[in-house]
Amino acid sequence: MRINKKLRCIVLLALASGIAFGVSAQDSVKNKQKDIPDYQLGTFYVYGDRYKNKSALGGKLEKEIKYIPASVNIVTNKEIKKTASDNLAEALKYETGITGDWKSNSTVGYFANIRGETLDNSNFLTDGMKTFGYVGQQVMSENVYGLEKAEILRGPSSTFNGAGSVSGVINMELKAPKDENFSEVEVKFGSNKQKVLNFDTNTTDGDKSIRLVGSFEKKDLFTNNSDITRTYIAPSVKKKIGDKTDVTVKVFYQKDHVNGSALQPMEKLKSHAHFEKYSDKTLFGGKGWQNQDVKQVGLNVSFNHKFDNMWSFHQKGFIRDIKNFSKDIMAPSVFPINNDEMRLMPRVNDYKGRSYGLDQYIKRHEENGKNSRDTFVGLDWHYENVDWKQKQNFMTRKLSDLEKPAINEIENALKNGQLMSGNYWGREWGLYASHNEKRGKWNFSGGMRRALFVSSDDNLKEIYATTGQLGVVYELTDEVLPYAHWNNSFKPVYFLDKDKNILPPTTGREFEIGLRYLPKNSNVKASIAIYDLRKQNVPDPVNKILPNGWAIPDYYRSIGEVASKGVDVSWENKYGDVKVKANYSYLDSKVTKSATADEVGKPSANSPRQSLSLRAEKTFGDITAGVGIHYIGERNQFNRQNHNSTKLGGVTVFDAYVSKENKNSSLSLAVKNILNKKYYTSVFDDCGFVGSERTFVLSYDYRI
């Protein structure tokens, strides 16, 4: 493997810094002869005064909100608690232009769509760093009670974040120790026999703070005789060394156990051969065989040292370990069936993943009156390794016997089943630099990254990629601030062409202009963003037809392109005792190039042309009541199996909550999907993924 001289020098410089965290992690990797990619959330920019007047999204350069040239939203833990959100889908559903909720009332995973593109593992971050990227399809999310906030960046992010999707990232910031003493206990009861116990306690003695967060939850899932139990424990400690140095260590352990089916809730469409012939909540094979266990252990460390008023050093790293073992039964509708029988596919899945990451940079800060500049240079590294095994086979059952116990029958079928397995590792290094300057009414930002990506795939050669970003904010007045932004991205792909050569990386770029209105002595916060987002070198399959009529990819062509153009509008204000927040998104996302001629011009999957959210909240003394409206417009789904397009109608969902605050406690009731609106978040073949049903959540918390 050849590494260019600059990258080699910076790697040696980082190793010579003597930071044991990175050295020990790399030694562990060598001992196990495994390796994988790197990523990190860089200088991202936030608008919206919903968290603080400043933000260091992802742990990089902290900037005042109004000087930020990019579309970012922040959802704090207070907002998550107010809406009784149990997962990321619920916590983010009122944010501009975000759709996706494939797991319904499950808490195990989350799939999101931003600006016409579905996010994958490489776009979910914890404390500003990617944990898993390209290998494995398990999108795991930490318990939302353990989050300080969730942040959404729209648009490409490779300049500081490494290889990843073109449309954006979601960062989950874990709760960290604070310089105050407090404790909280929360009890929740809700629909689907939900029972939750949360606690959060923090203690400090001046230079050292310790925090312990925990959550225990159990509730029923969509499928009959299925429930999930979650345990989450997260201790953390922060130590100040003098007035120039601080170290923070966060650890978390999370275990999810599912009795029954953990598969995405699905309903048969009218085109399904067995429509209305058996319940969509049927637990195939009955109780006793299907289950899932997911264990996650994480360690996040940050170190900050200030040499003087100008120079400082910052470092953070993580270790993550995930084990996911499941036994499930699928009912694929694409295989031949008759009116009285159906073909089931029992599977045993064993997924193990481990990843490490390290990021460090040196920052130089200067001030001269109202002018200032910040420059930093850094190096990041990421490695991940995934082992997976899957064994599956087919069995046939009568429709009348679908829920009858079938453990012996299933085990016998699997003895002669197909065994698939694999081991993937990937590694990425990134050398980056950024400069931010305020000069008069102009605020400039720019950055560049040179990355090297390698992996265990024999067909995937070393990939060097250079990405960059530019942004500017102009203070037209103290209240009106227009901005412009450009960014790009790259992401390696693992598909082969007809000559068995690896396809080139998928690339993306975005131009965005916007206007922010922040009047003084007012509660108004308004913004508008207009963007043009392009994703090139999209892998597009060339299918072959099997004897049973099912089409599967034979090879791929890298000729695709998806173009997404749109407008995002946000408005917040307070009218007396009433707070109002509204978001509107218009999106025109469509396929512009494809190996399949009839796919060109079709809308991107699960990308509504219009979406709208509105929340209003009124205070009556110590009582607060709120209502929310969430609208998702029509969406198209393109089925590659039969080349048909399925249109999902628009849907409007209503939520409400009310709470009563006392001195040290509060009692609240939240109702989600009040009208119990039935809708699908997506479709696959002849089935639809079911959106969350109506749920009630009663919460009581006590604080000291």
DSSP string, 658-684: EEEE-SSEEEEEEEESTT----EEEEE
Structure tokens at 39: 């990523």
Structure tokens at 609: 């042309």
pLDDT at site 581: 94
The 3-state secondary structure of 519-581, one letter per residue: CCCCCCEEEEEEEEEEEEEEEEEEEEECCCCCEEEEEEEEEEEEEEEEEEEEEEEEECCEEEE
Structure tokens at 556: 């791929």
DSSP summary character for residue 145: G
Of the candidates 642, 636, 647, the one whose C-alpha atom is nearest the C-alpha of residue 685 is 642
CA count, 13 A, side-chain hemisphere, 9: 3
pLDDT at site 639: 55
Return d(Cα 306, Cα 244) in angstroms, integer. 5
Return d(Cα 71, Cα 698) in angstroms, integer. 34
State which amino acid sits at residue 421: S
Of the candidates 321, 301, 316, 436, the one whose C-alpha atom is nearest the C-alpha of residue 380 is 316
Torsion of CA 402, 265, 336, 597, to 10 degrees: 180
Query: Model confidence over 422-447: pLDDT tens digits?
Result: 888 889 999 999 999 999 999 999 99
Structure tokens at 482: 């227009």
Ranges of the chain whose pLDDT falls below 70: 1-60, 100-111, 134-140, 332-338, 457-461, 546-551, 637-645
Query: Model confidence over 672-686: pLDDT tens digits?
Result: 999 999 888 777 777
pLDDT at site 41: 35
Give the C-alpha distances (Å, rounded to integers) separating 681 from 111, 229, 608, 694: 10, 25, 11, 15
Which spans in 17-86 are helix H?
A: 20-32, 77-82
Give the architecture (CATH level 2) of 5-703.
Answer: Beta Barrel (2.40)
pLDDT at site 531: 96
Domain limits, the chain: 5-703
Burial of 622 (0-12, 13-18, 19+ CB in 10 A): exposed
DSSP summary character for residue 13: H
Cα angle vertex 697, ends 694, 703, to 5°?
160
pLDDT at site 142: 76
pLDDT at site 123: 83
